[in-house]
Structure 1
């Protein structure tokens, strides 16, 4: 009996191995086209597909506007149909009238009334799934084309308007990357996963992660890596790796309950635990030297035992070279503010990426005679999580946090200068020296400026009934005693719903209709305001939130602001 079972298992194993080596199945492809009579003579159609682990090329003469193919193929690998001119070889670049599709065992029909790429395909379940997969990305691509036209209409020389449109484009690209990442995390073995990965690699949003792309590629089925798509991905990843520099500021650092006594757990060399929820890291001269023309900061939050929405931020602190770190004496620039989602640690996605493009800070970071630090705070508590989350009984672990600076290798230092104004200032209505719900700051310019740009981050907090957490309020910016602009501080939370894996009172119904000043699972937007050229000397800037109800609801707005001059 044991010997029989062993032989049976051996037979099953061998059969499985043979199936893996040879996945070809019989197929039949039939199609109709509508070539005009003057262009139908001797026209051929070419078909490229995978057979016996290699690319196969077949052709058929089109007769009475009909053609057919019959053979065996690996239906997990995308096939390609292509017209070509008489007496020429197939060339996608020369004649783009082509159709990509996934075959199926048995009969697949194609009906082309015009261009091949607009054909109606029937008989392939995988191809139906593939077409459904592509739909949301086609919509996003349409949005990107519209934004591209919007950018073309920006007046020449209006750098600030161009940057605002660039931020809109980046937001759509990042939404596309997030959806692709979620798909690949769950469907890496699907036949069209390689195409999804190629789209991911080709989408140059600020949230693109070359390491994640490489991890996805490593997980692809082996046969997908050797296809034309697989080779394209390999080439693209190699080029990206050569161009990108990543500085790991914090790598998988555990954050703990902010209300608990400071833990004594060891931290990585060069990292200082200021508190359970706050860590400091100085950038070395070698790291600063690696930074090129572009720069973005990326924060990755992995769920621990805090399952509620919390606030966090990354702040650049610049000190005179050689002086001991002192937050109050340093120049502070908040680079990125985040809100964690309602996140349950055993559900996917269990980690959230946040990113901000901070090219404007490169000159400030690389200036001579300064020491540069990054301060990362993500405040949380496990009071509820210990009771509500499986495996969290008694745990003080709130989140696991990584912070990266990502740059290119182009060394082209600009003449921009940063001026710190406010960093995480608590505007709560108690200080009335600048008027109701206002804060005024002064700054001095050593020279006339060509441009002066204000970067502003503001988010309302206060969870009591009617509190500012549930509202968004118009902000008024005054420059030198005169109103300069008004800002609508609302944010669309719909793109971040997928990160909120625990039921909550915010993400239910149509979240797209409910505007807030911040979203659980999303970054707090950085507003960019062009103040124009300013004269040398002293100036004042005032930020007001006149409609906020601070004292009644025990609320506040955290406000950060800095200038970039040139």
Structure 2
């Protein structure tokens, strides 16, 4: 519940002669090494008030956003948290219990800090061992955080024996400066609302879809969300702000069934625009207008490989829907099992920031299905500045993507691995590179006992005719996701279909990329080849492999 009112909390201009105010400076350290370039914590305190701030905040030099803390000791130790988003926007909350949440155990023994006799107290917070040293010599209370505020003046806070906040200077001052002591708010909210707003202010959110349907319908209607392939593909143009180096980016998709009971292949992708022709052209004009791949098996596969003049899509995330999550939860009940109401798929996609930053891009989602109810999805991109990601500064070159996201628009399944040639792509590398990597996603399909979905198959990757990497993609943890699959088929032996191990995927999971080191490459023409021993068809059933690959380099 949000409640709004105005609090005026001011320090009187006159002070009682017996009242003393103090300014305490603190330094953070780890393993006894002082943290470099820190903004030192400051605590201002007297018998009526404690303020926890920092040197830059108190000097009006801090960058937004920032947080300060106030304790009103005249009104039963009310603890205020104030968050400044900007010079004109702030939010606050009151926590009357936080100072009493941690039960402190007083210990024997004393030590001197800055010439004051300190006593020891310990507690445990979130499985962290906390030790504080506090003094009563100054007849005031205060601390650099909420721990020990009512014991005395805390001069050292020690977490797990290695992370410390230690007082380095204590100054007696006439009064607490009005610049840090005066409170004047009009936006006080409950603690949960406050914490949510603070958390979301720390990163950039780029919303893409909100509760959109991906379903099979004859003539889907487009608005700001474009719909293709009978509604099984949705696409939207979004603006991505300029991104600082070192940032990390994630895509997060929330999915639930809106009527489709089966496990389906899904893909979050971005249109590559580094060449004249794009996959979006094929979505608008028909996939047969895109370059065709042929390898001798008599079939044509449009839009799957890079050519001179055309780039396939960047696959940001490959995911698989479970059997009927949410929509069918109440139709199937099992004792001592509670079905999940949705799946959250989240993946680091920092390597794609170089082709997103400061641009308008088309990002889409595909779920292959033939159901009028289909699936409901929400998708967002989040960007987290100030990290240490080495991937954000990489260049990305899309090479192939055989996931037929325009399946219901006439793009065939990738069955060409039945031929020895498999998938072969010759591309032009624009510059000399060092430590180039292939970001490779692979999943096998063929949903019967001898199909490639259920038979381990070795993937081989060749670069310019030489073996670069080989492995057998296989997932054995599918049973972990049973509670996401209410209408998974069940067998007489007690297993569910969703329990079965598969070729690098499970119903309700993301398939992680492999990062394959290709070494140093010179500018010019190169060839990547993928070979997989695809199984033979049985009747009308056939196997195929969805593989995507892009090069990542400096």
Provide Cα deviations, 1:42-80, integer angstroms capped at 9, x if missing partner: xxxxxxxxxxx9789xxxxxxxxxxxxxxxxx9xx9662
Equivalence for 2:42: none
Equivalence for 2:550: 562
Q: What root-mean-square deviation, in Å, do the aligned CA atoms of Structure 1 and Structure 2 show? A: 3.9
Work out which of the residue numbers 396, 412, 432 in structure 2 matches 1:418.
396
Are 2:326 and 2:340, in contact at CA under 8 Å, matched by a contact in 1?
no
Instruction: State the alpha-carbon separation in 2 of the partners of residues 549 and 496 from structure 1.
Output: 27
Instruction: State the alpha-carbon separation in 2 of the partners of residues 340 and 95 from structure 1.
Output: 54
Structure 2 counterparts to residues 206-245 of structure 1, below 5 A: 225=191, 237-245=196-204
* Partner SS state of residue 453, structure 2: helix
Cα–Cα, structure 1 residues 510 and 312, in superposed 2: closer, same or farther, change >3 Å?
closer
* 2:327 corresponds to 1:345: yes
Equivalence for 1:143: none
* 2:451 corresponds to 1:467: yes
Work out which of the residue numbers 312, 320, 345 in structure 1 matches 2:266.
312
* 2:291 corresponds to 1:334: no
* Partner SS state of residue 218, structure 2: coil
Work out which of the residue numbers 364, 368, 376 in structure 1 matches 2:355.
364
Equivalence for 1:355: 346
* 2:103 corresponds to 1:80: yes
Structure 2 counterparts to residues 265-414 of structure 1, below 5 A: 267-284=222-239, 287-289=240-242, 293-319=247-273, 325-327=280-282, 328=290, 329-342=310-323, 343-345=325-327, 347=329, 348-366=339-357, 372-382=361-371, 396-409=372-385
Instruction: State the alpha-carbon separation in 1 of the partners of residues 457 and 528 from structure 2.
Output: 19
Are 1:456 and 1:526, in contact at CA under 8 Å, matched by a contact in 2?
yes
* 2:219 corresponds to 1:262: yes
* 2:532 corresponds to 1:545: yes
Instruction: State the alpha-carbon separation in 2 of the partners of residues 276 and 419 from structure 1.
Output: 28
Provide Cα deviations, 1:246-265, integer angstroms capped at 9, x if missing partner: 111111111223xx42344x
Equivalence for 2:295: none
Work out which of the residue numbers 510, 514, 539 in structure 2 matches 1:527.
514
* 2:210 corresponds to 1:251: yes
Work out which of the residue numbers 495, 500, 503 in structure 1 matches 2:485.
500
Cα–Cα, structure 1 residues 461 and 515, in superposed 2: closer, same or farther, change >3 Å?
closer
Equivalence for 1:37: none
* 2:439 corresponds to 1:455: yes
Instruction: State the alpha-carbon separation in 2 of the partners of residues 54 and 273 from structure 1.
Output: 62
Cα–Cα, structure 1 residues 381 and 461, in superposed 2: closer, same or farther, change >3 Å?
same
Are 1:315 and 1:336, in contact at CA under 8 Å, matched by a contact in 2?
yes
Equivalence for 2:466: 482
Q: How many residues align?
A: 342
Instruction: State the alpha-carbon separation in 2 of the partners of residues 375 and 94 from structure 1.
Output: 60
Are 1:301 and 1:351, in contact at CA under 8 Å, matched by a contact in 2?
yes
* Partner SS state of residue 418, structure 1: strand
* Partner SS state of residue 511, structure 2: coil
Are 2:485 and 2:498, in contact at CA under 8 Å, matched by a contact in 1?
no
Provide Cα deviations, 1:14-43, integer angstroms capped at 9, x if missing partner: xxxxxxxxxxxxxxxxxxxxxxxxxxxxxx
* Partner SS state of residue 350, structure 1: coil
Are 1:499 and 1:521, in contact at CA under 8 Å, matched by a contact in 2?
yes
Higher strand proportion: 2
Are 1:429 and 1:550, in contact at CA under 8 Å, matched by a contact in 2?
no
Provide Cα deviations, 1:425-447, integer angstroms capped at 9, x if missing partner: 54424663xx26x2111122222
Equivalence for 2:71: none
Equivalence for 1:428: 415
Task: Quote how far apart the aligned CAs of 1:278 are.
Answer: 0.7
Cα–Cα, structure 1 residues 80 and 318, in superposed 2: closer, same or farther, change >3 Å?
same
Task: Quote how far apart the aligned CAs of 1:116 are.
Answer: 11
Instruction: State the alpha-carbon separation in 2 of the partners of residues 522 and 466 from structure 1.
Output: 22
Equivalence for 2:406: none
Equivalence for 2:60: none
Are 1:344 and 1:502, in contact at CA under 8 Å, matched by a contact in 2?
no
Task: Quote how far apart the aligned CAs of 1:360 are.
Answer: 0.7
Instruction: State the alpha-carbon separation in 1 of the partners of residues 119 and 202 from structure 2.
Output: 30
Higher helix proportion: 1
* Partner SS state of residue 80, structure 1: coil
Instruction: State the alpha-carbon separation in 1 of the partners of residues 392 and 449 from structure 2.
Output: 48
Cα–Cα, structure 1 residues 505 and 484, in superposed 2: closer, same or farther, change >3 Å?
farther
Q: TM-score, normalised by structure 1?
A: 0.53
Instruction: State the alpha-carbon separation in 2 of the partners of residues 282 and 455 from structure 1.
Output: 24
* Partner SS state of residue 361, structure 1: helix
Instruction: State the alpha-carbon separation in 1 of the partners of residues 418 and 218 from structure 2.
Output: 31
Structure 2 counterparts to residues 165-244 of structure 1, below 5 A: 225=191, 237-244=196-203
